[in-house]
Chains A and B, each alone.
Chain A
């Protein structure tokens, strides 16, 4: 009896500490990865990186100014496409959505969310690039925008649903129409959550490379307008990382540093907003 208990106690101690080990291994790996990236990236980051265009192949120097602006333009277009459609669709599902059609919309949104990003790239290629007969920032922005829609929609729907019904009823009792209620009462109550969700969505899409490979293509120069191929940070990282030039590797690290910093900052900011909003609601 005593040995049985002792054995069980040992198993207990061992297994529980193993779970702790698992956790700290993962957190440790996180720190190693980020640390390695930041150390390498910071080493090779300089002013040229932010201000100069890429130099001819094999010549050292130059930077990724066009890729940084390019990523910005693509994300702007993606946001202009993804956020309004996702937001309004979420409003529809939360405020008007009972029945077959809304369920269908929910199901296809989840479906769209699960589509691998390379397949979205194929879609944008057949829809935009083949029809327009050139690669463009428009095609790239569209691909990213389509990727943003599902999460924008679900975030909006969830946070709108979490607004207590009493708020709606109060507004309507005061004579406000449904659209007025939504615009002036429900949405503002949920806005912090929705905003944080949109930010997370944007951060996720900022790092996407695959859908850009055959839509926005890439560009060694500045890309005016929306009809030209355009450089983007993730694509540059990919191109430079698999090449043999040491200088390109250094620039890839620097670009990785910039990209990851932006993604993490947006992520952390989004979560802080979310935490503050739920604390506010709990009160």
Chain B
């Protein structure tokens, strides 16, 4: 009796442990910015190709860069393109190069939770820089009030919420702030992880939106979809033409219009020219090593990238990400051939 039970248990262990040879499992990690889009894509792709499982974990762009460099994941994802030093480190550690593949366009919006204010607030770049530098400390500070003449702002202290870990969303945000505020540029700078002058940390876009949602008088920055999914108020930001623009498909697409995409696809589109452009927009990239040892995984990745550039692009608008400009799609399709 005991023996039979042991045998049965042993068989169960083997079954649980037996790798399913029909399954191709690919692991990726990185940006939380496009996570809603990626999780939808990978889910849809799995329905079309049930033998391919792409497991993506949103741990932040810093994590995506790190883990793909270490080789612990098959691909990474980031909204802050890898720097030259990081590319060099990848080359040294792994031998080949890593390629950036833009996937969608998104926007980083300032979300806030001010009791009594349900309308959209206008933020000037100076106001945003001042708030995140800790120089603008109250909601009724003139820097904010001037842009919102018709709204009565309370005199409460502002609580800043930023990312606690390495983040591409942070990169996009501080990239914008560095462009519009010399103070920010010299004091803090641009990176996926910075030494924040003020504020508390939330983990992931999810953590920041969660924190702002639960905390009165707070302000944070998240990707657009996180604000709308959670029905949170987000403000308009003044662009380089002087217009206060709200982040949406049209304004994000306008931000990418007219930008020349370099060969390696690394480009920043914050604070662009354009009347209707939303100033804090960004591409987001998949980081795929040029040389993938496993031919099965390589072909699966290529297949996914092709699908992503075709039918995948049609799914972006439902999640409020803007699709890639056609020129970029064409450039990318040629680049997929580089994977070997």
Contact = CB atoms under 8 A, between A and B. Distances in A.
A70 B36 CA distance: 23
A58 B225 contact: yes
A76 B17 CA distance: 11
A20 to B, nearest CB: 36
A220 B55 contact: yes
- Chain A contact surface mostly: loop
Interface stretch (B135-143, B180-188, B200-208): B200-208
B25 A228 contact: yes
A224 B23 contact: yes
Contacts of B46: 221
A219 B55 contact: yes
A217 B72 CA distance: 11
Interface in B36-95: 36, 39-40, 42-43, 46, 53, 55-57, 70-73
Nearest to A125: B72
Contacts of A36: none
B40 A228 contact: no
A229 B57 contact: yes
A58 B39 CA distance: 10
Interface residues on A, range: 20 to 34
Interface residues of B, number: 39
Contacts of A222: 53
B327 interface: no
Interface string B130-166: 0000000000000000000000000000000000000
A135 interface: yes
B258 interface: no
Given A55-B43, A58-B229, A220-B39, A242 B17 contact: no
A280 interface: no
User: Among the interface residues A57, A129, A220, A226, which one has the most CB atoms of the partner chain B within 10 A?
Assistant: A57
B27 interface: yes
B319 interface: yes
Contacts of B29: 217
A243 interface: yes
B209 A244 contact: yes
A28 interface: no
Interface string B167-180: 00000000000000
B16 interface: yes
Contacts of A217: 27, 29, 57
Contacts of A59: 40
A220 B226 CA distance: 19
Contacts of B232: 244
Interface in A191-248: 217-229, 239, 242-245
Contact of B55 (A57, A221, A225, A226): A221
Nearest to B22: A224
Given A220-B55, A228-B25, A242-B203, A130 B72 contact: yes
A133 interface: yes
Given A130-B72, A135-B72, A226-B17, A244 B226 contact: yes
B36 A57 contact: yes
A133 B71 contact: yes
Contacts of B73: 134-135
Contacts of A221: 25, 46, 53, 55
B92 to A, nearest CB: 16
B18 interface: yes
B19 A227 contact: yes
Given A219-B55, A244-B226, A56 B72 contact: no
B285 interface: no
B53 A245 contact: no
A134 B72 contact: yes
A106 interface: no
Interface in A164-205: none
A154 interface: no
A134 B203 CA distance: 23
Interface centre among B40, B55, B210 (most CB of A within 10 A): B55
Contacts of A228: 25, 27, 55
Nearest to B228: A58
A43 to B, nearest CB: 20
A243 B70 contact: no
Q: What are the 6 A-B residue pairs with the smallest beta carbon separation, nearest first?
A: A225-B19, A243-B206, A224-B20, A244-B210, A244-B209, A56-B39
15 contacts: A58-B229, A58-B319, A69-B16, A134-B27, A220-B55, A221-B46, A225-B18, A225-B19, A229-B55, A239-B206, A242-B204, A243-B209, A244-B213, A244-B229, A245-B230
Given A134-B72, A135-B27, A220-B56, 7 more contacts: A56-B36, A76-B13, A76-B16, A133-B71, A133-B72, A229-B55, A242-B206
